[in-house]
């Protein structure tokens, strides 16, 4: 079993709380690790389905390890909301 290293990272409130949206009658779940899934038949493919792409416009998915450090004042660089800090496994 691999050992994980944990560190504290900044996340947008939407990303930190596992934001859920509804596009096209299907549910999109934006996970706290930066991944997104959809309940449509194509939702578990290696490339995001169209519903996820459309839902990304409704939710901020900023996470520091993927998108870089937060903006001054601990603000999300994508949407401007205050960031929250969470444990991140690597």
C-beta separation of 9 from 90 below 8 A: no
> What is the full DSSP assignment across 16-63?
HTT-EEEETTEEEEE-TTS-EEESSTTTTSSS--HHHHHHTTTS---B
Pull the structure tokens for residue 70: 């937060």
The pLDDT value recorded for residue 41 is 87
Asked if the model's pLDDT at residue 77 lies above 90, the reply is yes
The C-alpha atoms of residue 71 and residue 69 are separated, in whole angstroms, by 7
Per-residue pLDDT tens digits for 39-56: 888 876 667 788 888 887
Mean pLDDT of the chain: 83
Domain ranges for the chain: 19-89
Distance of CA 70 to the CA centre of its chain: 14
């Amino acid at each position: 079993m691999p050992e994980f290293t944990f560190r504290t990272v900044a996340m947008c409130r939407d990303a930190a709380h596992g934001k859920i949206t509804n596009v096209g009658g299907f549910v999109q779940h934006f996970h706290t690790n930066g991944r997104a899934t959809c309940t449509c038949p194509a939702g578990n493919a290696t490339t995001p389905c169209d519903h996820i792409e459309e839902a990304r416009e409704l939710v901020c998915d900023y996470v520091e390890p993927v998108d870089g450090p937060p903006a001054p004042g601990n603000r999300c660089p994508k949407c401007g909301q205050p960031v929250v800090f969470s444990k991140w496994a690597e």
